[in-house]
Structure formats: C-alpha cells, structure tokens
C-alpha cells in the first residue's frame, strides 16, 4: 500500500519509536527517515560527516541544527519521499521544527500526524539498559542515556505542544506488546484517514 502520509514519530529514548516507526512506514509504503540511523551509518562508513559527529553522538549531545536540517532536507528531496515519509528523531527541538516547516512549505506540504509514544521514564530506562547489553550502542552508557533523556525533556518535549496546537498529535500508550502498540497507532492514523496498517 502506498500513501501520501507525512508523519513524525516522537517519544523518549527507549520508547520503542524506532521499531514502531519501521512497522508503520512499511505498512504504509513510505520510507523511514531516521537522523540517528543516518548519523550512525556515516560513522560506520567513516565519512566526513561521520568523523564530524562521532564525539557528539557518544556524548549524547545534539548535532548542530543547521547541519542536521540540511541532511534531512536533502533526504526528503529524494524521489522516494515525494509521496510521504516517516520522520524518526527529527525535529528534536523548536528550531528544527521551524526548519522543517520551511522546507515542507516550499513544496506546499506539511506534517499530517505526529505519533507520540508515551512511556514512563522508569520503563524507558529499563529498556535502554537491556538494549545496552544486547546491542552495545556506544551512546548507551549510563551517562549518555541520562543526558539524552534530559535533552528530550528540555528540548524535544516542547515541540509536542507546538504540534498539539495544530491538532495533529496522536498520543499513544507505548506500554504493551509490539503488536498492540502498532494496532493503537493504526487506529489513531485511520481516524485521520491515513492507511490501514494491520
Ligand atoms: P535516541 O532517541 O536513543 O537518542 P537516535 O538514534 O534518535 O537515538 O539519536 C542518536 C543521536 O543522534 C542523538 O543523541 C544525537 O546525537 C544525534 N541526533 C539524532 N537526531 C538528531 C537531531 N534531530 N538533531 C541533532 N542531533 C540528532
């Protein structure tokens, strides 16, 4: 199934947004644009961008807004994103919201829905500790995790009220089985006339 949905999935670290984002995007036939994945791929391949951002990611800091926004703008201008996409990890603060608004407006587009995955901090931390032992991500140290959660609360959570004012936020309970959560997202999007996921 293909769709024209332009979506953002947002939630604290450990909320499962990466996993749910992939499921939703696959069901709708739209690409996932994950800034974290883009940065990690560049680090792995040793590109100039990768070299520039390695220390930033390891510390759990944010990559500069201008750089991040330029990368996303380039990615969204590729053909496969013309009829829709699911953003994961971007925008992450209100400056980036402004950048995204500006470049979507260039093609008379806007976000259709923001999926907010609600997970209590304790549950997030528990999942992140598990991921740290399973995947060994270099930014899953206790220090970097705590720092990323703080940035989420201080800089990313405020973007939700911006999108709430536009009436496009769907708050989804992120506790439960993977299938249950996907079904909740599906129901919320269907109410907006966006695809049937399951
Ligand atoms: P998590 O949600 O667990 O922090 P992500 O994969 O979304 O993981 O991001 C990993 C790291 O990539 C972030 O800590 C940050 O350094 C960088 N990053 C990702 N998205 C952005 C963004 N929109 N702006 C700035 N930095 C970003």
Query: Full-prediction pTM beyond 0.95?
Result: no
User: CA 41 to CA 54: how far, in whole Å?
Assistant: 11
- Which residue puts its alpha carbon closest to atom 5 of ligand 1? 36
**CB-based contacts of 188: which residues, under 8 Å, 6+ apart?**
113, 115, 170, 172
Mean pLDDT of 25-48: 96
Question: Is the confidence at residue 196, as pLDDT, over 90?
Answer: no
Confidence of residue 2 (pLDDT cuts 50, 70, 90): very low
Mean pLDDT of 93-118: 96
Catalytic, out of 17, 23, 75, 184: 17
Look up residue 81 and give its DSSP letter.
G
Domain spans in the chain, listed from the N-terminal domain onward: 6-191
* 69, β-bridge pairs: none
In CATH, which of 3.90.1150.10, 3.40.50.1100, 3.90.850.10, 3.40.50.300 is domain 6-191? Answer: 3.40.50.300
Residue from 13, 38, 62, 86 to probe ligand 1 pocket by mutation (most atoms less than 8 Å from CB)? 62
Asked whether the beta carbons of 138 and 57 are under 8 A apart, the reply is yes
- pLDDT 10s digits, 134-145: 887 888 888 888
Asked whether the beta carbons of 97 and 152 are under 8 A apart, the reply is no
According to the model, what pLDDT value does residue 3 have?
Answer: 53
Question: Is the confidence at residue 175, as pLDDT, over 80?
Answer: yes
According to the model, what pLDDT value does residue 142 have?
Answer: 84
16 CA to centre of ligand 1 in angstroms = 14
The radius of gyration computed from the CA coordinates of the chain, to the nearest angstrom, equals 16
């Amino acid at each position: 199934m293909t769709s024209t949905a332009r979506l953002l999935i947002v939630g604290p670290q450990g909320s499962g947004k990466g996993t749910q984002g992939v499921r939703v995007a696959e069901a709708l036939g739209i690409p996932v644009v994950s800034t974290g994945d883009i940065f990690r791929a560049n680090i792995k391949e040793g590109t100039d961008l990768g070299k520039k951002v390695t220390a930033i990611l390891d510390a759990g800091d944010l990559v500069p807004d201008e750089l991040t926004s330029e990368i996303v703008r380039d990615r969204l201008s590729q053909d496969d994103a013309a009829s829709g996409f699911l953003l994961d990890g971007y925008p992450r603060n209100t400056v980036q919201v402004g950048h995204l608004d500006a470049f979507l407006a260039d093609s008379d587009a806007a976000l259709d829905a923001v999926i907010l995955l609600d997970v209590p901090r304790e549950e997030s931390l528990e999942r992140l500790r598990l991921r740290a032992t399973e995947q060994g991500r270099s930014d899953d140290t206790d220090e970097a995790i705590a720092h990323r959660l703080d940035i989420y609360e201080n800089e990313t959570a405020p973007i939700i009220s911006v999108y709430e004012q536009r009436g496009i936020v769907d708050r989804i309970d992120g506790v439960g089985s993977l299938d249950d959560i996907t079904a909740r997202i599906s129901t919320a999007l269907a109410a907006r006339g966006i695809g049937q996921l399951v």
